[in-house]
């Protein structure tokens, strides 16, 4: 049987990196976009709006995907925006259409902010959940509903909790894009929360993890993380060092209400899926810096 996958968020930071790996796995790829659907001999780009439920149902009815990789969600600057409720509702409607037209496996993007704050490695089934923002709460509600719905309707279901993903950023409000933009324009970068610890993972490694989960026979929740702790200070200094602009970074540590330590135990992803990151932090940042210069995406 032909494997057909319907990908939402296909032009996003992670979604765009899933397309080639999906093709390499033998999938017929249908990628949702709200913009240009220029012809691609390998990717079937389809225009649609996730919030137009009737139109989305027609798309799914026409394609009849066997697999669904649902990555679409607006996050940056919208942690407490009402748009999160819209994405929650739209995701459920999409799942219902997927089921109606014969869908077999769904994988949905979650987030580490579903977890409660902890000073230990976060684990999928033992670490407590306590999202602090509407974004995290809506993601967690979606996981609960989608998991129950799929179990009830005999659909394989997996949920990937993404940790601190970075890559070639379109939105310069995100840390990586902001820092690179400023440094390439010889502007001073001020960091106020350098002591916070994060689990940084390259968007290409995140994408490969999602593809491997989708193509496996495994279900349930997976942390998509490296398991390595890196302070924001060290992360920013690595970017600056690779750009030879360490002199432009200033640290002015201030109190923060953000989680102090966020690192994920990825043993389930490694042991059950067979995934390993392809990039070290430095290798990934070198590539992002090179791509940023080539595309001039940071020119203000």
Contact 42, 29 (CB under 8 A): yes
Domains of the chain: 4-165+201-226+265-278 (3.40.50.720), 168-197+229-262+282-295 (3.90.25.10)
Q: Hey, how many other C-beta atoms are within 10 angstroms of the C-beta on 18?
A: 28
Question: pLDDT digit of tens for each residue in the chain (300 aa)?
Answer: 799 999 999 999 999 999 999 999 999 999 999 887 666 779 999 999 999 999 999 999 999 999 999 999 987 667 899 999 999 999 999 999 999 999 999 999 999 999 999 999 999 999 999 999 999 999 999 999 999 999 999 999 999 999 999 998 777 778 998 999 899 889 999 999 999 999 999 999 999 999 999 999 999 999 999 999 999 999 999 999 999 999 999 999 888 888 999 999 999 999 999 999 999 999 999 999 998 776 654 443
- pLDDT of 261-279, one tens digit each? 999 999 999 999 999 999 9
Give the predicted TM-score (pTM) of the model: 0.95
Contact 232, 195 (CB under 8 A): yes
């Amino acid at each position: 049987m032909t494997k057909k996958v319907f990908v939402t968020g296909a032009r996003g930071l992670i979604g765009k990196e899933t397309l080639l790996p999906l093709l390499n796995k033998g999938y017929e790829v249908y990628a949702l976009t709200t913009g240009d659907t220029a012809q691609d001999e390998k990717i079937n780009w389809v225009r649609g709006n996730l919030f137009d439920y009737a139109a989305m149902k027609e798309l799914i009815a026409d394609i009849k995907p066997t697999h669904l990789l649902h990555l679409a969600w607006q996050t940056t600057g919208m942690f407490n925006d009402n748009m999160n409720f819209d994405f929650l509702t739209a995701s459920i409607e999409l799942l219902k259409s997927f089921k109606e037209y014969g869908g077999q496996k769904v994988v949905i993007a979650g987030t580490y902010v579903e977890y409660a704050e902890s000073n230990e490695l976060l684990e999928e089934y033992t670490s407590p959940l306590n999202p602090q923002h509407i974004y995290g709460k809506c993601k967690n509600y979606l996981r609960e509903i989608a998991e129950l719905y799929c179990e009830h309707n005999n659909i394989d279901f997996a949920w990937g909790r993404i940790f601190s993903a970075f890559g070639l950023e379109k939105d310069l409000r995100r840390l990586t894009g902001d820092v690179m933009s400023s440094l390439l324009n010889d502007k001073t970068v001020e960091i106020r929360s350098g002591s916070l610890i994060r689990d940084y993972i390259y968007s290409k490694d995140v994408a490969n993890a999602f593809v491997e989960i989708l193509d496996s026979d495994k279900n349930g929740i997976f942390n998509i993380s490296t398991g390595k702790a890196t302070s924001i200070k060290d992360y920013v200094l690595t970017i600056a060092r690779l750009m030879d602009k360490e002199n432009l970074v200033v640290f002015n540590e201030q109190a923060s209400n953000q989680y102090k330590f966020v690192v994920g135990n990825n043993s389930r992803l490694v042991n059950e899926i067979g995934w390993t990151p392809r990039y070290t932090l430095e290798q990934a940042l070198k590539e992002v810096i090179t791509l940023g210069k080539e595309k001039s995406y940071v020119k203000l």
